[in-house]
Structure 1
Amino acid sequence: MMVVAELAAAAVDVTNFITASEASSQAFKTATLLKSLTINALIMGENGVGKRTLASFILPNATAIDASNFEELLQALESSDEIIIIDIDNFPNLKLLIDTIKKNKTRVVATSRQSFSNEYLDDLFSVKFDIPPLVRRDEDVQELIKLFVKDAVELFGGDSKFDIKNFKPDLSDNANSLRRQVMISYLLQDIDDNELMGIIENYLFEKLGSNSDYRNYLYLYEVPLIRAGLTRFKSQLQLSDRLGLNRNTLRKKISENKEYLEGENNE
């Protein structure tokens, strides 16, 4: 069995692969090879790393069905020459699925959210490979940011200027969280006071109701103020002076909001 490890493909659509990193460049070469073959492939990795994009690149005309929709999937296998199975690890009976695929001689490219070995899968898939998360593909992250900014300009209008000086990419859900973050950051970079207060007002409207709401939601003001201050002034001492706070008071505020200020304890 051919096992290709440590490959990546971060792409927004099937025609625009990001190949800035060595891993994604190799993934594109592998995908190009698979397009010309008639073998089954399994792509493994976290959400948002490009599994579905890569699968659609390999089989551009195939229907993609989530394995959790097992009845729909089994019916599709009866009438399809090729199919993309999303999150094959969601299927409740892998033996039944594999037997159905073999019976109908359907070509399959599947994805899974975890790297795992299974005797039925090992028998079906000639090629299996992992796509590493974006935290290990910094070159791809930088290119994705540029691409998502372009998307934001086309969607919302305005100019293409986007300040990434203090931008810390949110890669918690890989490209999914990064795209959301870029979109929100792009919208907020030119926001005025009234617009910002309107956003907070809408957020709080349905949440208010207890007799301690002032204290409960004070962090919405304090946390961004402390984060911005520590980033700009580099130390608690300077920030406490700029805010007109006793240093011990600032330390107390940081401790009270430690859930949101982890790693911000600049001395």
Structure 2
Amino acid sequence: MNVVVLVAAAAVDVTKFITSSEASIQAKKTASLLKTLNVSALITGEIGVGKKTLASFILPDVSVYDASNFDELLIALESSNELIISNIDRSPNLQRLVSAIQDNGVRIIATSSQLFSNDIIDELCSIKLELPPLRERDEDIAFLVDLFLEEAYKLFGGNKETFSLKNMNPDLSKNAHSLRRQVMISFLLEDIKDTELMDLIGSYLYDKLGSKNDYKEYLYLYEVPLIKAGINKFKSQLQLSDKLGLNRNTLRKKISDNKQYLEKEI
């Protein structure tokens, strides 16, 4: 019988896990138990929730192979006692892969981006672990933001004491991956100069320009940030129109024209 365990883990490095949330604490306990058991397991969850990190915590001295690199994986199975297989659901020939695992007597910790029902996998992996997304682990989000902020400070320097993310809505679209990217970009932009910002926009636009309507097409790159910052700062379209020196009807039209980017603000 398969045992389905709901756990959570996010990486600090390949051998450590954050333990800010109750789910993370349980994850570490479950993973620690698996270290002592000679059984194969399947870890599932969205991208960026720590599947490979959890697998590497269970088997810290074992190589990781992606199931899509089928021939390379088959060769590795012939000379290994234990193996970590990522994205096992993407294997081009799951039946042959499982047969090779069983024939060579290899213990595996596999990962998958989805909890899929498969009789072959059910027979191979006696334990299944599902990692919930970060949006269900508020304490872990705060810990990761601090972790990525420290990483950004070490990489780029600057003053981390004056840096603030209080107005940041965490980007959890890809869990820890998107959150890390957001913190890094926010840190870099904290003290960016106007000339540097213009250079960034210029680089972005360089390969995109070429039609006869480009000025109107890309005007939103200026208008949206200005309107978004103004609404967040002044909390009123009336005040914003005054500060920008715009007629209220003109501001409303610009907001309407860019509503796909301003829905959260309005």
TM-score by length of structure 2 reads: 0.96
- Which stretch shows the higher mean deviation, 67-76 or 235-244? 235-244
Letter in 2 for 1:93: N
Q: SS of the residue aligned with 1:84?
A: strand
Structure 2 partner of 1:112: 112
Structure 2 partner of 1:246: 247
Structure 2 partner of 1:175: 176
Letter in 1 for 2:57: F
> Is residue 206 of structure 2 the alignment partner of residue 205 of structure 1?
yes
Deviation for aligned residue 1:158: 2.1
Q: Which whole-Å deviations, capped at 9, do the CAs of 1:73-123 have from their partners, x for residues lacking one?
A: 111111111111011000022221111111111010000001111101110
Deviation for aligned residue 1:237: 2.0
Return structure 1 stretches of 4+ with deviation > 6 angstroms: none
Structure 2 partner of 1:84: 84
Letter in 2 for 1:123: E
- CA–CA distance in 2 between the matches of 1:157 and 1:15? 27
Count residues in correspondence.
Answer: 265
CA contact (8 A) 2:7 2:130 kept: yes
Structure 1 partner of 2:185: 184
Q: SS of the residue aligned with 2:92?
A: coil
Q: SS of the residue aligned with 2:13?
A: coil
Q: Tell me, which stretches of 5 or more residues in structure 2 are unaligned?
A: none
- Which stretch shows the higher mean deviation, 131-140 or 197-206? 197-206
Gap change, CA 1:238 and 1:3, over 3 Å in 2: farther
Letter in 2 for 1:246: N
Structure 2 partner of 1:158: 158
Structure 1 partner of 2:96: 96
Q: SS of the residue aligned with 1:260?
A: helix
Q: SS of the residue aligned with 1:4?
A: strand
Letter in 2 for 1:26: Q
Letter in 2 for 1:207: K
CA contact (8 A) 2:45 2:132 kept: yes
Q: SS of the residue aligned with 1:207?
A: coil
Structure 2 partner of 1:68: 68
- CA–CA distance in 2 between the matches of 1:83 and 1:112? 15
Q: SS of the residue aligned with 1:223?
A: helix
Deviation for aligned residue 1:2: 4.3
- CA–CA distance in 2 between the matches of 1:6 and 1:238? 49
Letter in 1 for 2:62: A
- CA–CA distance in 1 between the matches of 2:111 and 2:62? 14
Q: Percent same amino acid among aligned pairs?
A: 64
- CA–CA distance in 2 between the matches of 1:150 and 1:2? 40
- CA–CA distance in 1 between the matches of 2:151 and 2:167? 21
- CA–CA distance in 1 between the matches of 2:16 and 2:196? 35
